[in-house]
């Protein structure tokens, strides 16, 4: 692979656009969820205020080194996933640092942030940290397995590990999208998507109705700001993967904004319609409903 240094400024521009869109979109989704519950919700600009405030704070509390590297690894996973995946199809400027075989690297980045946070939480010294780690890794494994099978099915279908080539194979008409050519893979991936977004009914790690602790309590000041930044980058980055693999990609920024909004809205709709699962219910749900769809998708290909 020949590395193009000129792509770095364009990749940073992509990151700037996605961060701002993520800040606005995350607040908009929270407001929509609040209106469903007959509440007013936060202002659209609230995420900007929180980030500026938290980045300006400093902490004197000391823990182990890995505790502070956890948010860094988490943010690295989201940023890396975004920068190594093409954002706008057909645009040299916004192809980012993608290359042949970038699909495999993207799968690694999906797991990287969660594993880093697990190591960081494990060194926090809190007696309940093990509960959050076990919940998070158990659900992540159960949810990502159907997604991995769906990705393998798509790679077999198009005979490539290049995300750009997969998007190119879906051009020409809506019926060329993987959504219509391999619906079982898309169904497995979208069910997995619900778990990766960490919204109800799969918000097991934070467990807001059960344990008043977790990363937002253990991490504070600029460390919390790093996690908040990743919280607006990682969902968009993963949605870009779904958009490119299953929904034909995006050839322009307006199409990008629309498709990302609709995919994000899918997780919000499920979140406001269903109550939270228990840990064993969540894992059983992915293994019973999502995993067989992924297996069927590979068998049919």
Read off the pTM.
0.90
- In the block, residue with structure tokens 């980030």: 51
* Distance between start and end Cα atoms, the chain: 29
Q: What pLDDT is stored for residue 60 in this prediction?
A: 72
Q: Where are the domains of the chain?
A: 7-300
CB 204 within 8 A of CB 135: yes
**Minimum mean pLDDT range among 162-171, 212-221, 271-280:** 212-221
Q: Using CA atoms, how far apart are residues 69 and 117, in angstroms rounded to an integer?
A: 8
Backbone angles phi, psi at 39, to 5 degrees: -115, 165
Which tens digit of pLDDT belongs to each residue from 30-60? Answer: 999 899 888 888 899 999 999 999 888 887 7
Does the bond joining 170 to the residue before it have cis omega, within 30 degrees of 0? no
**Angstrom distance (rounded) from CA 46 to CA 53:** 11
Structure-token match 């919280």, residue found: 231
- Read off the pLDDT of residues 178-211 as tens digits, 9 standing for 90 and up: 999 999 999 999 999 998 888 888 887 766 555 5
Q: Select from 199, 184, 197 the least CA-distant residue to 246.
A: 184
How far, in whole angstroms, is CA 116 from its chain's centroid?
15
Phi, psi of 244 (to 5 degrees): -75, -40
What tens digit of pLDDT does each residue of 66-102 get? 888 888 888 888 898 888 888 999 888 888 777 766 7
Q: 170: which 2 tokens?
A: 């879906």
Residues 130 and 149: their CA atoms lie apart, in Å, by: 29
Give residue-wise pLDDT tens across range 266-278. 999 998 888 888 8
Report the pLDDT value the prediction gives residue 156, as an integer from 0 to 100: 93
- CA-closest candidate to residue 132, choices 22, 68, 232, 215: 215
Of 232 and 121, which is predicted with more confidence?
232
pLDDT at 1 over 50: no
SS3 64: coil
> What's the pLDDT tens digit per position in 111-164?
887 777 777 777 777 777 777 778 778 888 898 899 999 999 999 999 998 899
The rounded distance, in Å, linking the Cα atoms of 241 and 83 is 11
Residues 85, 127 contacting (CB under 8 angstroms): no
Q: In the predicted model, what is the mean pLDDT of the chain?
A: 86
pLDDT at 49: 93
């Amino acid at each position: 692979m020949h590395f193009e240094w000129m792509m770095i400024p364009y990749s940073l521009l992509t990151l700037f656009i996605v961060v701002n869109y993520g800040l606005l979109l995350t607040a908009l989704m929270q407001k929509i969820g609040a209106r469903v519950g007959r509440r007013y919700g936060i202002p659209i600009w609230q995420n900007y205020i929180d980030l500026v405030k938290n980045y300006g704070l400093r902490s004197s509390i000391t823990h182990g080194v890995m505790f502070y590297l956890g948010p860094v690894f988490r943010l690295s996973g989201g940023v890396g996933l975004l920068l190594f995946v093409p954002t706008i199809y057909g645009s040299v400027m916004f192809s980012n640092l993608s290359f042949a075989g970038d699909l495999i690297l993207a799968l690694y980045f999906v797991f990287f942030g969660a594993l880093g946070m697990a190591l960081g939480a494990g060194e926090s010294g809190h007696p309940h940290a093990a509960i959050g780690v076990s919940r998070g890794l158990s659900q992540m494994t159960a949810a990502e397995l159907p997604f991995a099978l769906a990705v393998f099915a798509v790679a077999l279908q198009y005979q490539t590990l290049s995300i750009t080539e997969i998007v190119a194979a879906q051009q020409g008409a809506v019926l060329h999208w993987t959504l219509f050519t391999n619906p079982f893979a898309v169904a497995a991936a979208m069910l997995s998507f619900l778990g990766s977004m960490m919204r109800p009914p799969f918000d097991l790690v934070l467990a807001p109705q059960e344990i008043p602790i977790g990363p937002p309590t253990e991490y504070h000041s600029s460390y919390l700001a790093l996690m908040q930044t990743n919280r607006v980058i990682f969902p968009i980055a993963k949605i870009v993967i779904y958009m490119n693999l299953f929904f034909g990609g995006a050839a322009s920024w307006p199409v990008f904004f629309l498709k990302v909004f609709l995919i994000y809205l899918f997780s919000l709709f499920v979140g406001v319609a269903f109550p939270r699962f228990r840990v064993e219910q969540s894992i059983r749900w992915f293994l019973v409903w999502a995993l067989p769809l992924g297996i069927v998708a590979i068998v049919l290909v």
